[in-house]
Amino acid sequence: MTNEPIEPRERAAAAVEPLPEGVDLASYGEGPREECGVVGIYAPGEDVATLTYFALYALQHRGQESAGIAVSDGRRLVVHKDMGLVNQVFRDTSLAALHGDLAIGHCRYSTTGASSWENAQPIYYETPTGGGIALGHNGNLVNTNELARKLDQPPRNDSELMAALLARDVDVSLEEAIVRTAPQLRGAYSVVVLDEQRIHAFRDPNGVRPLQIGRLPTGGWVVASESAALDIIGAVLVRDVEPGEVVSIDGNGLRSQRFAEATPTFCLFEWVYLARPDHRQDDRSVLYARRNMGRQLAREAPVDADIVIPVPEAGRDAAAGYAAEAALPFADGLVKNRYVGRTFIQPTQSLRQLGIRLKLSPVREVVEGRRLVVVDDSIVRGNTARQLVAMLRSAGAAEVHMRITSPPIANPCYYGIDMASRAELIGADLDVEAIREFLDADSLHYISLDGLIDATPDDRSQLCTACFTGDYPIPVPGEQEQLAQIRFDFSDDTAG
Ligand code: SF4
């Protein structure tokens, strides 16, 4: 057996893995996936269905499997939903059929319940009195089994479970039913609910997922997962729906009730990756926080390099921050093949061999012969990052220094983000040096947890950091047992 040095191109060819059979191209090579985006609009006299459509457009990154809108004209609810992106589900004709003064909308990526039309939202649920409610949920409940025992019919998912629990309370208004029911729910939930007359929006006491209130210039009200959904329809951000608060909107304006004390632990990963850069949370834009993360990384892990490049899209603002702090040039060394995931054409076997190249292309003029700092938001299983390093070497990079704007992800998320199981997380069992070796990078540095938190406007006590620290702010039944059982086996690593 010889021990000759391996040429970068050969190393690259060996490391780039084919696309797995039947893989969803839209998600291949992406980071952790958000579960959902929600919106609710009360705007009498306006085309609420079309306003909701555009607001959903701005939330498309939060869920790309299905989309739906429910509208009420004051007497009757109508729901239109289907599998696909917002612009695939709705046409002029389908929007024109949705008449009313109030609407809710939802875009979904499933982490509980199958990816199917039945599980697409808004969920419609008939009440025993002959009315109906429509519900859209962003988050994930952790006590679904316990709650499902209260129902005669097993629900298909945690969102239907909520709708069923709310619909049982026939003797009180929907607003009161929420105040009664919400304290029984455990987990993350930012929810919009529509009945014939009103929109209600409520958020779990920890406020894990965002939910904001805006005002339209015409006086109407909007609630939405992110401020970008308010901006796109000309609404002005008023405030957050507070953790533990329910707001109800109708012709009398907006009313608020509290169903629980607020114990805020906002998802730290929304700052790193999930939210759009133009989303504003706690008076700061996500873009500004991500720039800070990049600057912090440059201070924590400087390196002799020629150029800083982002892994598009979430790494872009942090890479700009790193380059500014390190006084290095910034350039797009990787281009995202933005629409490849939107195709319904399955790649052939020979195309599958291209692996990550189907999603990202290196720009040879930028990377060739250069020592690169490559800024990305996270490493989940490690396979995508390994292929990325190989692809950059294959394009002629002299050195590849990976800089990551989150600490190692060592624990799964139970609050609405699909990351992978603990057994699949490379950060769960390997130290940073072992991960660097696996990636075949020249250096690897993850931002420190303190450095990351300092880049946001929040205090540590106000944030969920569970996927990094294992410190779950909302107890997850069975989590400790899972932790004890699972051992990481990296010898058979086939995850995407
Ligand atoms: S576990 Fe991670 S991704 Fe999930 S809510 Fe907490 S910080 Fe966010």
Instruction: Clarify whether residues 291 and 420 are in a common domain.
Output: yes
Mean pLDDT of 322-333: 97
DSSP 17: P
Is there a domain that residue 270 lies in?
Answer: no
If you measure from the C-alpha of residue 474 to the centroid of ligand 1, how many angstroms do you get, rounded to a whole number? 11
Is there a domain that residue 475 lies in?
Answer: no
If you measure from the C-alpha of residue 415 to the centroid of ligand 1, how many angstroms do you get, rounded to a whole number? 6
Instruction: Clarify whether residues 56 and 144 are in a common domain.
Output: yes
Distance CA 71, CA 78 (A): 5
If you measure from the C-alpha of residue 409 to the centroid of ligand 1, how many angstroms do you get, rounded to a whole number? 10
Better-scored residue on pLDDT, 352 or 379 = 379
pLDDT at 426 (0 to 100):
93
Q: Give me the residue label for tokens 């769960």.
A: 428
Instruction: Clarify whether residues 39 and 187 are in a common domain.
Output: yes
Is there a domain that residue 269 lies in?
Answer: no
Q: 97-152 pLDDT, tens per residue? A: 999 999 999 998 865 556 677 788 999 999 888 889 999 999 999 998 889 888 88
Burial of 449 (0-12, 13-18, 19+ CB in 10 A): middle
CA-nearest residue, atom 8 of ligand 1: 267
Residue 16 has pLDDT above 70, yes or no: no
Instruction: Clarify whether residues 216 and 331 are in a common domain.
Output: no
What SS3 state is found at 355?
helix
If you measure from the C-alpha of residue 425 to the centroid of ligand 1, how many angstroms do you get, rounded to a whole number? 14
Instruction: Clarify whether residues 260 and 130 are in a common domain.
Output: yes
96: CB partners within 8 A, 6+ apart? 49
Is there a domain that residue 442 lies in?
Answer: yes
Last residue of a domain, one of 235, 264, 293: 264
Instruction: Clarify whether residues 92 and 186 are in a common domain.
Output: yes
Is there a domain that residue 101 lies in?
Answer: yes
If you measure from the C-alpha of residue 397 to the centroid of ligand 1, how many angstroms do you get, rounded to a whole number? 34
Residue 475 has pLDDT above 80, yes or no: yes
Distance CA 384, CA 26 (A): 14
Tell me the pLDDT band of 213, cut-offs 50, 70 and 90. very high
% the chain with pLDDT above 90: 69
Burial of 92 (0-12, 13-18, 19+ CB in 10 A): exposed
**Cα–Cα distances in Å, from 242 out to 30, 230, 264, 484?**
31, 17, 9, 36
Beta strand ranges found along 208-289 (DSSP E): 212-215, 221-224, 236-240, 245-250, 253-258, 266-267, 280-281, 284-285
Residue 363 has pLDDT above 60, yes or no: yes
Is there a domain that residue 472 lies in?
Answer: no
Residue 32 Cα: closest atom of ligand 1: 3
Residue 474 has pLDDT above 90, yes or no: yes
Q: How far apart, in Å, do the first and last CA atoms of the chain sit?
A: 31
Is there a domain that residue 473 lies in?
Answer: no
Q: Give me the residue label for tokens 């133009």.
A: 278
Domain containing residue 254: 33-264
Residues with CB under 6 A from ligand 1: 208, 267-269, 413, 415, 417, 464-467
Tell me the pLDDT band of 19, cut-offs 50, 70 and 90. low
Q: What is the best residue among 141, 269, 272, 458 to mutate for testing ligand 1's pocket, by most ligand atoms within 8 Å of CB?
A: 269
Q: 266-310 pLDDT, tens per residue? A: 999 999 999 999 999 988 899 999 999 999 999 999 999 999 999
Instruction: Clarify whether residues 172 and 315 are in a common domain.
Output: no
Average confidence score pLDDT of the chain: 87
Question: What's the CATH number where 332 sits?
Answer: 3.40.50.2020
Quote the tokens at residue 360.
């990202």
Instruction: Clarify whether residues 369 and 252 are in a common domain.
Output: no
Is 107 an annotated catalytic residue?
A: no
Question: Which of 466, 380, 481 lies closest to 206, judged by CA?
Answer: 466
Distance CA 205, CA 243 (A): 4
Instruction: Clarify whether residues 302 and 226 are in a common domain.
Output: no
Is there a domain that residue 370 lies in?
Answer: yes
Burial of 278 (0-12, 13-18, 19+ CB in 10 A): middle
Residue 268 Cα: closest atom of ligand 1: 7
Q: Are 201 and 192 a contacting pair, CB within 8 Å?
A: yes
% the chain with pLDDT above 70: 85
Instruction: Clarify whether residues 115 and 172 are in a common domain.
Output: yes
**Cα–Cα distances in Å, from 394 out to 266, 297, 363, 487?**
40, 26, 11, 34
Catalytic annotation, pick one of 36, 267, 413, 467:
36
425: CB partners within 8 A, 6+ apart? 380, 381, 409, 410, 411, 412, 419, 488
CA-nearest residue, atom 5 of ligand 1: 267
pLDDT at 341 (0 to 100):
58
Instruction: Clarify whether residues 165 and 252 are in a common domain.
Output: yes
CA-nearest residue, atom 4 of ligand 1: 413
Q: What is the best residue among 267, 476, 483 to mutate for testing ligand 1's pocket, by most ligand atoms within 8 Å of CB?
A: 267
**Which of 25-29, 144-148, 420-424 holds the top average pLDDT?**
144-148
Distance CA 86, CA 106 (A): 9
Residue 355 has pLDDT above 70, yes or no: no
pLDDT at 6 (0 to 100):
39
Q: 141-194 pLDDT, tens per residue? A: 999 888 988 888 888 888 889 999 998 887 889 999 999 999 999 999 999 999
What SS3 state is found at 202?
strand
Gyration radius from the chain CA atoms: 23
Better-scored residue on pLDDT, 24 or 473 = 473
Residue 392 has pLDDT above 80, yes or no: yes
Residue 477 has pLDDT above 80, yes or no: yes
**Which of 80-89, 162-171, 293-302, 422-431 holds the top average pLDDT?**
293-302
Looking from the CA of 395 toward its CB, the CA atoms found within 13 Å total 23
Residue 267 Cα: closest atom of ligand 1: 8
pLDDT at 422 (0 to 100):
83
Residue 31 has pLDDT above 80, yes or no: no
pLDDT at 399 (0 to 100):
98
Better-scored residue on pLDDT, 114 or 14 = 114
Helix H or strand E encompassing 148: helix 144-148
Last residue of a domain, one of 234, 264, 294: 264
If you measure from the C-alpha of residue 62 to the centroid of ligand 1, how many angstroms do you get, rounded to a whole number? 15
Last residue of a domain, one of 203, 235, 264: 264
Residue 463 Cα: closest atom of ligand 1: 7
Mean pLDDT is lowest, of 230-244, 312-326, 471-485, for 471-485
pLDDT at 487 (0 to 100):
33
Count of the separate structural domains present in the chain: 2
Q: 214-266 pLDDT, tens per residue? A: 999 999 999 999 999 999 999 999 999 999 999 999 999 999 999 999 999 99
Mean pLDDT of 474-495: 50
Instruction: Clarify whether residues 241 and 327 are in a common domain.
Output: no
Residue 209 Cα: closest atom of ligand 1: 5
Q: What is the best residue among 35, 109, 190, 268 to mutate for testing ligand 1's pocket, by most ligand atoms within 8 Å of CB?
A: 268
Residue 270 Cα: closest atom of ligand 1: 8
DSSP 267-294: EHHIIIIIS-TT-EETTEEHHHHHHHHH
If you measure from the C-alpha of residue 465 to the centroid of ligand 1, how many angstroms do you get, rounded to a whole number? 6
Q: What is the best residue among 111, 208, 272, 409 to mutate for testing ligand 1's pocket, by most ligand atoms within 8 Å of CB?
A: 208
Residue 492 has pLDDT above 50, yes or no: no
